[in-house]
Amino acid sequence: MKQYCYITSMFRSGSTMIARMLDVHPQVASASDPMRPIFNSLRYDLADENYRSRHSRFDPLGDYFLQDCNLLQRTLDASLDISPEISSSELVTAVVKRAVMFSGSYADRLDIEKSLSTYKEYVQYFFDTLADVYGQGKDYSCIAFKEVWSTEFYSALKRSFPTMKGIVIVRDPRAVVASKNATGQPYPNIFMGRQWRKLACLAAYFDQTYEDVLLLRYEDIVSKPEEFVPKICSFLDIEYNERLLDLSLYRDGQGKPWKQNTSYKDIKSRRINARSVDKWKYTLDVQDILSVEVFTHDWMQYFGYEPEHSVGDINSLDINYYKRLENENLAQWIKPFAFDTDKERLANEIVLEKLRLAQDINLTSEEKMRLHLKWW
């Protein structure tokens, strides 16, 4: 029986690097972002009519904070043994359009006329195609794939594919924001902060719930690759191979040399390195940092990231100091979902964040996790 591996994180947190790394291994067939719309569609089919009236099937995955909490729970409880309420051609076409950007050779092989019954059958079809394309010429024992933003679907994958293992990666949220900002197409701080918090909480939840989950920090992987890459191999029951540390061997989804997904252009080494770890300290100002930490303060501490601001600083944060981004400066896709220009709404959301932090401050990490999964 083949083993499967789901690699997941927030974007710009090293998950693509891990997927490309594993594809170098002779025992692994690995792809980046081959099926994300399948999760958006599953979420929609799990949702109630109230949610559906406000969203379309392939809307971005939300953060669930103080809304759609039941949907998060249904997602965590779901299996893939339900049928999509959408035609096969529409669903596979959506997957192809997304996958072609990251796994082009695989996307070219998908058949939009393929007719399947359940989400499990679709995912199995995607696995088989992935393996045919990226496992060619290999004696592979593991089929791995990476998807960002969608950590909450690990449970459903595990129920339908019992050999599924999960590699969940977290990164300092300030570094994630700095890396995204440097592309010139930023996302609002409230979006970045709440998404990071959702994924951080879920990372901790799955780490404590499943034996087959390996939780890693990006900073540890790139600072000590000789220690953590063998750990990944051991977790997947594959032999460690030093070639995994050589970035020049990494290939993108079309078999071309892969360039590290970084906005920091001075990284020239073909070995995994830690030069990007502290870049945020020189690219974010005090206002940027506080505007991130207001959403992430407590969960940063959980993962060993030391906030630069105290709870008192956050409690005294005035909306006029919060770093608001003008809509026209944002990445194009997020503009319909952003509300940075609505100062009153932002002020109310900041009040909610202060109340959340005040409630969490004296809880244990386990109590905090349970609370978050209830009111997210």
> Could you tell me if 228 and 295 lie in one domain?
no
> Could you tell me if 231 and 327 lie in one domain?
no
Give me the number of domains the chain comprises. 2
> Could you tell me if 154 and 72 lie in one domain?
yes
DSSP state string for 256-313: SBPPP--S-TT---SB---TTTTTHHHHS-HHHHHHHHHHHHHHHHHTTPPPSS-HHH
Antiparallel, parallel or unpaired: β 3-9 and 164-170 = parallel
Residue 189 lies in a domain: no
- Residue 263's pLDDT band, with cuts at 50, 70 and 90, is very low
> Could you tell me if 106 and 235 lie in one domain?
yes
Using the predicted structure, report yes or no on whether residue 269 has a pLDDT greater than 70. no
Residue 122 lies in a domain: yes
Antiparallel, parallel or unpaired: β 28-32 and 142-148 = parallel
Q: In angstroms, rounded to a whole number, what is the distance separating the alpha carbons of residues 110 and 119?
A: 15
> Could you tell me if 244 and 121 lie in one domain?
yes
Residue ending a domain, choose from 249, 264, 295? 249
> Could you tell me if 154 and 100 lie in one domain?
yes
Residue 176 lies in a domain: no
Residue ending a domain, choose from 249, 265, 295? 249
Q: In angstroms, rounded to a whole number, what is the distance separating the alpha carbons of residues 14 and 283?
A: 19
Q: Give the model confidence (pLDDT) of 185-244 as tens digits.
A: 999 999 999 999 999 999 999 999 999 999 999 999 999 999 999 999 999 999 999 999
Q: Give the model confidence (pLDDT) of 111-123 as tens digits.
A: 999 999 999 999 9
Residue 102 lies in a domain: yes
Q: Give the model confidence (pLDDT) of 347-367 as tens digits.
A: 999 999 999 888 877 777 677
> Could you tell me if 121 and 244 lie in one domain?
yes
Chain Cα centroid distance, residue 116 = 27
> Could you tell me if 232 and 308 lie in one domain?
no
**CATH number of the domain to which 29 belongs:** 3.40.50
> Could you tell me if 290 and 163 lie in one domain?
no
Residue 17 lies in a domain: yes
Q: In angstroms, rounded to a whole number, what is the distance separating the alpha carbons of residues 307 and 207?
A: 23
> Could you tell me if 91 and 231 lie in one domain?
yes
Using the predicted structure, report yes or no on whether residue 369 has a pLDDT greater than 80. no
Residue 186 lies in a domain: no
> Could you tell me if 67 and 120 lie in one domain?
yes
Residue 179 lies in a domain: no
Using the predicted structure, report yes or no on whether residue 267 has a pLDDT greater than 60. no
Residue 135 lies in a domain: yes
> Could you tell me if 55 and 108 lie in one domain?
yes
Q: Three-class SS of residue 206?
A: helix
8 A C-beta contact, residue 112 and residue 92: yes
What is this structure's pTM? 0.95
Domain that holds residue 142: 3-170+211-249
- Residue 312's pLDDT band, with cuts at 50, 70 and 90, is very high
